[in-house]
Amino acid sequence: MTQPAFFKRPPPSTLAEIAASTGSLLVDASRGDIRIIGLASLDQAGPMHLAFFDNHKYAGQLAATKAGACLVSPRFEADVPAHVAVLRSKAPFRAFVSIARDFHGDALRPQSWFDNTAVAASAVIHSSAYLEDDVVIDPLAVIGPDVQIGRGSVIGSGAVIGPGVRIGRNCNVGAGTTIQATLIGNNVLIHPGCHIGQDGYGFIFFGAEGHVKVPQTGRVLIQNDVEIGAGTTIDRGSLRDTVIGEGTKIDNQVQIGHNVTIGRRCLLAAQIGLAGSLTIGDNVALGAKVGINNHLHIGDGAQVTAMSGVKDDIPANGRWGGYFAKPTRQWFRELLAVERLVRDGAPDAGSPKAAPKDRVIE
């Protein structure tokens, strides 16, 4: 069975053209006419592929590569095998991404899964909804009353857009996504299977009548240039809005509770859990599986190590990690101190001792 290629193949480019496009220097100008037909990793590249090298961990792959050309920084240039053309760059990976964006622009933003260019006949669109020109609606999507969708946006198959939702221009809403009580800016990319604008986890717990539900009457506001990974859930606010700031990038399977405010240009890795009513500043980076308690403030520029649990405010530009999270240097000192205690203790310090007979718990 023929194996499909899921993205368009770029037209061949010469090394001279690639050097000009990426701002790199082709060290041996006589190789400028060599043709490159694609991009590949060092270990999978062939004579007509371009690769990059920027991490000494992969020096073995560089030595064995069959790539035709390699983007590399000046300090690693001498390590490139003689048969590989060298493209010298101060930032090889950035240059590689630049040419990848030129080669594979169709991979940056998903288009219709049905090669659709208009509104599919099976889409359900309420008569009061307003769609600007050049909006694409894939089969079986549902667009509710008073929805507005801007020019160039694509709504995936099976997506459900609830009453009054506003979606800006050049946005993508992935298949199977549900959106309600939400205002979305321009150039927003929402991957498949997201659920945005459902009510938050608001209850008066353990009352005489059981757990009493608190109405959640706020909204979700998603500003321009935000990307939201597959399977992410964002609860609407209870009284105030849940806000995702401009340029923020959210990975897959992230839970964002009600009333959360996330600043501009933040990075949230996979499986993060953000409890309600917390505030995150601008340019904050949170590693995978970070959990943050409610009503906290994470300052501008803060970074939190993956798998950390945060129960205290973090100051601006703080570097925190651990469980429970604390300044990274303090966390490392404590880990080293514990390791020294175990290493320098009695020979049997690491083995559990039997409790005295009069203290044994049956």
Catalytic residues: 258
- How far apart CA 18 and CA 99 sit, in angstroms, is 7
- How far apart CA 243 and CA 306 sit, in angstroms, is 23
- How far apart CA 39 and CA 217 sit, in angstroms, is 49
| Spatial contact of 309 and 323, defined as CB atoms under 8 Å apart | yes
| Spatial contact of 163 and 183, defined as CB atoms under 8 Å apart | no
- How far apart CA 336 and CA 341 sit, in angstroms, is 9
Sorted by sequence, the CB contacts under 8 Å of residue 2 that are 6+ apart come out as none
The number of angstroms, rounded, from the C-alpha of 218 to the middle of its chain's C-alpha atoms is: 25
Q: How many other C-beta atoms are found inside a 10 Å radius of the C-beta of residue 247?
A: 18
Q: How many other C-beta atoms are found inside a 10 Å radius of the C-beta of residue 106?
A: 12
- How far apart CA 315 and CA 230 sit, in angstroms, is 30
Helix (H) or strand (E) holding 130: strand 130-131
Q: Residue 96 half-sphere exposure, CB side, CA atoms within 13 Å?
A: 21
Q: Residue 247 half-sphere exposure, CB side, CA atoms within 13 Å?
A: 9
- How far apart CA 15 and CA 88 sit, in angstroms, is 12
Q: What is the rounded radius of gyration, in angstroms, for the C-alpha atoms of the chain?
A: 26
Distances from the Cα of 123 to the Cαs of 85, 126, 158, 179, 291, in angstroms?
52, 10, 9, 16, 38
